[in-house]
Amino acid sequence: MSQSEMEEKVSILLVDDQPQRLVAYRAILTDLDLHLVCARSGREALEHLMDREFALVLLDVSMPDMDGFEAAKLIHEHPRFEKTPIIFVTGVHLDDLDRLKGYSLGAVDYVSVPIVPEILRSKVSVLVELYCKRKELQRTNEELAHANARLSEANIALQEERTRELEGFNRSLQRANSELEAANRLLQSENAERTRAEQALKEADRHKDEFLAMLAHELRNPLAPIHSAIELMRLRPLVDPQLNWAREVIARQLTSLTRLVDDLLDVSRITRGKINLTRQAVELEGLISRAVETVHPLFDEQRHQLTLELPEPGVRVFGDPTRLTQAISNVLGNAAKYTDAGGQIALIAAVRQEDVEIRVRDNGIGISPEMLPHVFELFTQLDRTGCRTQGGLGIGLALVQRLVQMHGGEVAAASEGPGKGSEFVIRLPLLRDEAEPLEAQPQTTAQAAPSQSGMAAVATPLLSAGAARMARRILIADDNNDALESLATLLQLSGHEVFTATNGGTALQSAERHQPEVALLDIGMPMLDGYEVAKRIRAQPWGQRITLVALTGWGQDSDRRRSREAGFDSHLVKPLDLEILTDLLARLPSTPASAHGRPAANGGPAPLGAKSSAG
């Protein structure tokens, strides 16, 4: 038998001092296909055990020199063989103590001589099978251990790989976080810069509003004496026709200049949405009539022919008549300015389903395609070439669009190009009879009061229009001598008794000395301003009877509010229309009553300013 074949077979160690028994053992176990190793003593058995591994040892109990018990003891005392099973072979009867001794030495069983072959083969087969199972389990455990080792190595490698990947990911994440922090810092810086820019814009806008208010005030101061001088010239006949023509030229240009001043203030109101609407049912025909009347001097000057096509009477809209008139007149004025002298302009108004449509067509210079989308933007003006009537600040159409939109309508522009005229269309919601509101309610988007055709809104007392005009005792206080003297002269020519003062201190003394019925006080006077003069007059018992009128170039809501708080009955903005002032004086009661809770004398009417735009 080759060495490899021997190693493949299970080895059994047969130990007996009698050769014939060894032969018998081999014969009995030959069929089991085992590798049988024979030993004739305990010492020889130990030598074989040192050379190889045996599935079991068949050990004779009775042997010379070293019996079976001693050999078993030596075998099991060695760490390699402590679990090797031993079957004792005995030819003598063993009592229980002998068997117990054998079992304590590692015996697993006994066979008696004469040996029964089937019994021996059966016991050896069982032990060999157990040995094989144990060896198979051992190999499986070893393979499992190897597999576990490989798995452990793989896990270690995987863990190392994951660690490397995690470290790489962490480095990438750190870079990303660093980049994000840098981006956040940049964004914060940009936001801070944007905030600073917004604050700067707001501050610039505030300064712009302050500048416009100051500019309007400074322009109105010289306009006031010019207007008064024109009115004074109209009270005296002029023989020379050229002087009459020059006076009317000055009057027309003064009106245009006054309208430009109001446009300056409208810029601020438009950008902040601060426009006041007092809505009511309005006849379309009346709106168009007033708008045409407003632009009539410009049409006459340019010799334009205006054609009107209006619907049947009774067509109405719901809106602010002053603002709607302003919108229509701005469109008409725009057509007049951008049309050469002697041009053709048509206004066509009609009802289109649920809307009122107002079309203004002209044969003027037209609008280029690239300019058409911008005509309603602030400060937009067309090319001035070839049209000498252009002018203004470029806010008229922007104001039209905002006013029309506030009334729930829309405005559009169209043109076939330069030199081919233009058309503007205003659409407003039609007011049906069944849809008429029960009462007109003011729609307030802000506190700004509208101007009226270049003149400041004026307080109108609740008195009958037929109140008799009478001479009044009037105090005028203004540090502008031209304005003071021209207005005083006009009032004196109208039959009034007039006292003048050039500063606040003199005005207060004159009021106490003369106790006038009416005091027209400029606000920006030296020594004491108009507000302080009004407060001090109201603090005196005699001052309760005086009607105080603020006459100033300041016309914003805050100025009107301050006037009201200081004790003024009315707030008039320069330049003053003489007819408005004459009507105001005519409406005063015989014994004027103050607007500060004083009862009207002799059952007179409500105080001045009860319906004033100043409140």
> What residues in the chain have per-residue pLDDT under 70?
1-7, 91-100, 102-103, 105-107, 209, 213, 216-217, 263-264, 266-275, 381-394, 434-469, 590-615
User: Which tokens belong to 82?
Assistant: 């402590």
pLDDT of residue 283: 93
Encode 396-418 in three state secondary structure: HHHHHHHHHHHCCCEEEEECCCC
407: number of Cβ within 10 Å? 21
Answer yes or no: do 529 and 434 share one domain: no
Answer yes or no: do 490 and 367 share one domain: no
Q: What sign for the dihedral angle of Cα 26, 32, 33, 36?
A: negative
Answer yes or no: do 490 and 549 share one domain: yes
In a domain, 168, yes or no: no
Q: What are phi and psi of 262, to 5 degrees?
A: -65, -35
CA gap 585, 471 in Å, rounded: 9
pLDDT of residue 549: 95
Of 358, 366, 363, give the one whose Cα is nearest residue 344.
363
CB 318 within 8 A of CB 282: yes
Preceding peptide of 85 cis, ω within 30°: no
CB 614 within 8 A of CB 595: no
Answer yes or no: do 431 and 510 share one domain: no
Relative to beta strand 355-362, strand 422-429 is antiparallel
Of 301, 290, 302, give the one whose Cα is nearest residue 249.
301
pLDDT of residue 583: 80
CA gap 547, 529 in Å, rounded: 17
Residue type, 394: G
CB 16 within 8 A of CB 113: no
User: Which tokens belong to 84?
Assistant: 């090797």
Answer yes or no: do 550 and 597 share one domain: yes
* Residue that the structure tokens 């008799």 belong to: 468
The string over 559-569, giving b where at least 16 C-beta atoms fall within 10 Å of a residue's C-beta and e elsewhere, is bbebbbebbbb
User: Which tokens belong to 544?
Assistant: 């309760």
In a domain, 190, yes or no: no
Domain range enclosing 368: 278-444
User: Which tokens belong to 499?
Assistant: 């006292």
CA-CA distances (angstroms) from residue 77 to 54, 70, 84, 86?
A: 16, 11, 11, 13
Which of 423, 444, 465 marks a domain boundary? 444
Helix (H, G, I), strand (E, B) or coil at 86: strand
Of 478, 481, 487, 480, give the one whose Cα is nearest residue 510.
478
Q: What sign for the dihedral angle of Cα 428, 434, 440, 443?
A: negative
Helix (H, G, I), strand (E, B) or coil at 497: strand
Answer yes or no: do 295 and 390 share one domain: yes
Instruction: Give bridge partners of residue 358 from the DSSP assignment.
Output: 349, 426
Answer yes or no: do 553 and 407 share one domain: no
pLDDT of residue 297: 84
CA gap 576, 568 in Å, rounded: 17
User: Which tokens belong to 182?
Assistant: 């840098």
Answer yes or no: do 302 and 417 share one domain: yes
For 451-492, strand residue ranges (E) read 473-477
**Per residue in 272-323, pLDDT tens?**
666 678 899 999 999 999 999 988 888 988 999 999 999 988 999 999 998 8
What DSSP string runs through 286-350?
Answer: HHHHHHHHHHHHHHHHHT-EEEEE---TT-EEEE-HHHHHHHHHHHHHHHHHTS-TT-EEEEEEE
Answer yes or no: do 380 and 492 share one domain: no
In a domain, 141, yes or no: no
CA gap 124, 1 in Å, rounded: 22
In a domain, 615, yes or no: no
Burial of 440 (0-12, 13-18, 19+ CB in 10 A): middle
CB 585 within 8 A of CB 608: no
Of 313, 331, 332, 315, give the one whose Cα is nearest residue 429.
315
CA gap 75, 49 in Å, rounded: 8
Answer yes or no: do 440 and 393 share one domain: yes
Residue type, 337: K
Of 499, 229, 256, 281, give the one whose Cα is nearest residue 392.
256
Answer yes or no: do 438 and 477 share one domain: no
Helix (H, G, I), strand (E, B) or coil at 420: coil
Q: What sign for the dihedral angle of Cα 383, 385, 387, 391?
A: positive
Relative to beta strand 547-552, strand 570-573 is parallel
In a domain, 524, yes or no: yes
Total number of domains in the chain: 3
CA gap 404, 429 in Å, rounded: 10
What CATH number does residue 337 fall under? Answer: 3.30.565.10
**Per residue in 331-381, pLDDT tens?**
999 999 899 999 999 999 999 989 999 999 999 999 999 999 988 887 776
325 contact partners, CB below 8 Å, separation of at least 6: 287, 290, 291, 294
592: number of Cβ within 10 Å? 23
pLDDT of residue 113: 82
Helix (H, G, I), strand (E, B) or coil at 50: helix
What is residue 598's DSSP assignment? P
Side-chain half-sphere CA neighbours of 448 within 13 A: 20
In a domain, 173, yes or no: no
Instruction: Give bridge partners of residue 498 from the DSSP assignment.
Output: 474
Answer yes or no: do 359 and 440 share one domain: yes
What CATH number does residue 592 fall under? Answer: 3.40.50.2300
Residue type, 397: L
In a domain, 318, yes or no: yes
Helix (H, G, I), strand (E, B) or coil at 74: helix
In a domain, 179, yes or no: no
Of 403, 405, 432, give the one whose Cα is nearest residue 322.
403
Which of 115, 141, 169 marks a domain boundary? 115
499: number of Cβ within 10 Å? 18
pLDDT of residue 93: 62
